[in-house]
Structure 1
Amino acid sequence: MKNSDNSVQNYYSTLTGWMIPTSKAMDAHSIDIAAALKECDISQDVMADQESRIAAEKLTQLIHYCNAQLVRHDFSILIAEQFHPGMFHALGYAMMSSNTLQDALQRIAHYKRVVSNTCKLVNYEEDDQFVFEMQIITYETTNRPVLSLVTVETFLATIIRFSRELVTLDFSPIKVCFAYAKPDHDISYLEDFFNCEIEFSSDKTAIYFDLEQTQEKLMCGNPLITQSHEKMLDEFMARVDKNDLTHVIKNKIFELLPLGAPSQTDIADYLGMSLRNLQRKLHDQGTSYKEILENTRKKLAMDYIVQQHLSLSEIGYLVGFSSVGNFNRAFKRWTNQTPGDYRQGKKS
């Protein structure tokens, strides 16, 4: 048995910087931002800290909501047209000061973890073309891509909008490929925006550029500015990586809890590191395996307790307790109430 979908989905996230162009697009088309965030269960605080993250599924939900409000399918393009380098943190400004478009595209691939943990970006030359490919992560249980088509449209369109800022406003790629089935609705908005061949059901999700054009020197190139921003990015990546270890551990705990709470040794083996090394890394981050396990169990239990179709014994099992008594004691430690009393209070 696997952990709940929501728990896994919340692991895959992206920078809240995406809310900059998204909110601008909403405002430009008279979509009530507060109502939209509430409908999609997104906190309004999400735009206050540009280093915080938003679940990729939530961003997808918001794009779908906006498409529905406008009774159209092109909100992904409307977001891209509101491109601002700040949406990618310091990476956006480092890209804007790159010597060539190829340099900029390679830079976003290198620092991709700053933006999101939902895919891998790969750049390579193929004949006389430069390929910018998205290798999108899939959920283990369903093999479904963690990014939906509308989110991928938004990202690739943003890359092209950014490219036009660097090169020329009428810049167009050679081809855009999607490893997704062609949607039922009219896709002319994609053809109009990208101004090139659009291929669906491809073996990859990628943009094909003219190689020579990506290697032309840009007027905005400034190595000193780029170096300054890369220093900031390296520091930010260190913070991202530091937090990511905790996320990876939480994700594995989610998966294993129905089989019983995994031991610290189990997790160290999964991560391919010694127990002592894991303990040291967590200590350096000001936490411990015991604390992560406790917080993860509590978070899951609080999610499950309001789901009336789950019995209390099932919830105890799902969060890794071998007996109802152990679960009851832990729950009372977390809330000062028994699970039954807490659930009853939520119903009244």
Structure 2
Amino acid sequence: MEKDSQSEPRTAVGWANAIAMTLEMQGKNSALLFKEADIPYQSTSDPSCRVEAHKIFHLMQLAVKTTGNPSFGLQVACNFQPAHFHALGFSLYSSSSLYDFCLRLVHYFRLLSENAKHYLHEDEEHYRLVIELINPKASIESLDGWIGAIVHMCRSIYRPDFTPLKVELERPAPESHAEDFERFFRAPVIFSAPTNTIYFAKEDMLAHLPSGNSDLARRNDEVVIEYLARLDREDIVRQVEAKVIELLPTGECSKDRIASLLHISQRKLHNKLEQKNTSYQEILENLRSNLAKQYIEQKNVSFSEIAFLLGFTDTSNFARAFRRWTGVSPTQYRDQLEGD
């Protein structure tokens, strides 16, 4: 039966780009495999291009067959570049900590693929990043590649010798090259596990990253949110987020104004957000809180500037709101950052 390309999960073509690069480095003709997988070869130059997820899975399986290496996905992991991930790639690489990095995966991964969701859990001694597949028929090598890419990116933005505490994979151990997994992750790897999970030490997750740039991350986050809103016009939450970010500095970021720009009534906006288990006020508070922390990390931005950027009438109103969000004043928060 022919697949319904309109309803099937789609994936950014950057995945195919990394596969092609890995094949070419091994002397393989990637163009032939692209043709067999029905992926336009020229599409790899456009990071905004998206293709049906099953085509990426097929391409990966063809690559594994061509190379004879069941751990091929781990080789692909090392060839992902920020530009492969559209604006999200630059947000990820500008994150101030691995915790922020993981939160961006949780919130924005849909820009890269509609075939998985990420969940971040804090336990007493560690954090767990869980990757849940939406389509269980995804090629296991593609998932190997993505989990490997997460660890590879952590090494790029944190430190080259970074190792997770352990990695759990739902996939069974491969008949050959199983040793490649522990060699790559430099950590215990559990196959046939209940979930796909990367375990992080808390000190690693909360350490400040040398490549962190809150302003660059925020600007790319804005692009990501706007792009996701265009991808899914039915996602009212992302549409509201995009408009709030746009209007905050104007001081005209009211619920009525947002509804007007979205060409719906206030009541309809309220009902749509209620169906998503949120509200305009909750979205506004969350965005202001997150943006405030990012701005405060920039020492050259004054508190009066931050208040203006977040749409507050004066610094005292901003300070009261910030204390409500964090339990400390903006000055105390910045002092704590400088003391770390």
Fold match (TM-score > 0.5): yes
Pairs within 5 Å for 1:74-89 = 74-89=71-86
Work out which of the residue numbers 153, 172, 179 in structure 2 matches 1:188. 179
Distance 1:243 1:84 in 2: 30
Distance 1:59 1:87 in 2: 14
3-state SS of the aligned residue for 2:232?
helix
Distance 2:31 2:161 in 1: 35
Change (3 A) 1:196 1:27: same
Equivalences, count: 238
- Per the TM alignment, residue 10 of structure 1 is displaced from its structure 2 partner at its CA by 6.9
| Deviation larger for 53-62 or 40-49 | 40-49
The residue aligned with 2:297 is: none
Distance 2:70 2:163 in 1: 21
Distance 1:181 1:5 in 2: 29
Checking the alignment, whether the CA contact within 8 Å between 1:91 and 1:233 is kept in structure 2 is yes
Checking the alignment, whether the CA contact within 8 Å between 1:128 and 1:212 is kept in structure 2 is no
Letter of the 2:47 partner, please give it. Answer: Q
Change (3 A) 1:243 1:22: farther
Q: Which runs of 4+ in 1 moved over 6 A?
A: none
Distance 2:138 2:234 in 1: 22
Change (3 A) 1:244 1:37: farther
Give TM-score, length-normalised by structure 2: 0.66
- C-alpha distance after superposition, 1:56-105 (max 9, x if no partner): 22112112211222222222111111121111111111111111011111
- Per the TM alignment, residue 164 of structure 1 is displaced from its structure 2 partner at its CA by 0.3
Distance 1:243 1:149 in 2: 31
Letter of the 2:154 partner, please give it. Answer: S
Q: Aligned residues: percent identity?
A: 26
- Per the TM alignment, residue 8 of structure 1 is displaced from its structure 2 partner at its CA by 6.8
Change (3 A) 1:167 1:125: same
Letter of the 2:160 partner, please give it. Answer: L
Unaligned runs of 5+ in 2: 237-267, 273-340
Work out which of the residue numbers 122, 127, 135 in structure 1 matches 2:124. 127
Work out which of the residue numbers 166, 179, 187 in structure 2 matches 1:175. 166
Q: RMSD over aligned Cα, in angstroms?
A: 2.1
The residue aligned with 2:140 is: 149
The residue aligned with 2:191 is: 200
The residue aligned with 1:227 is: 218
The residue aligned with 2:332 is: none
Checking the alignment, whether the CA contact within 8 Å between 1:9 and 1:56 is kept in structure 2 is no
Higher relative contact order (CA 8 A, sep 6+): 1
Letter of the 2:141 partner, please give it. Answer: V
The residue aligned with 2:149 is: 158
Distance 1:219 1:236 in 2: 28
Change (3 A) 1:146 1:10: farther
Matched, 1:64 2:55: no
3-state SS of the aligned residue for 2:233?
helix
- Per the TM alignment, residue 183 of structure 1 is displaced from its structure 2 partner at its CA by 3.0
- Per the TM alignment, residue 244 of structure 1 is displaced from its structure 2 partner at its CA by 7.8
- Per the TM alignment, residue 15 of structure 1 is displaced from its structure 2 partner at its CA by 0.6
3-state SS of the aligned residue for 1:89?
helix
Checking the alignment, whether the CA contact within 8 Å between 1:10 and 1:57 is kept in structure 2 is no
- Per the TM alignment, residue 185 of structure 1 is displaced from its structure 2 partner at its CA by 2.9
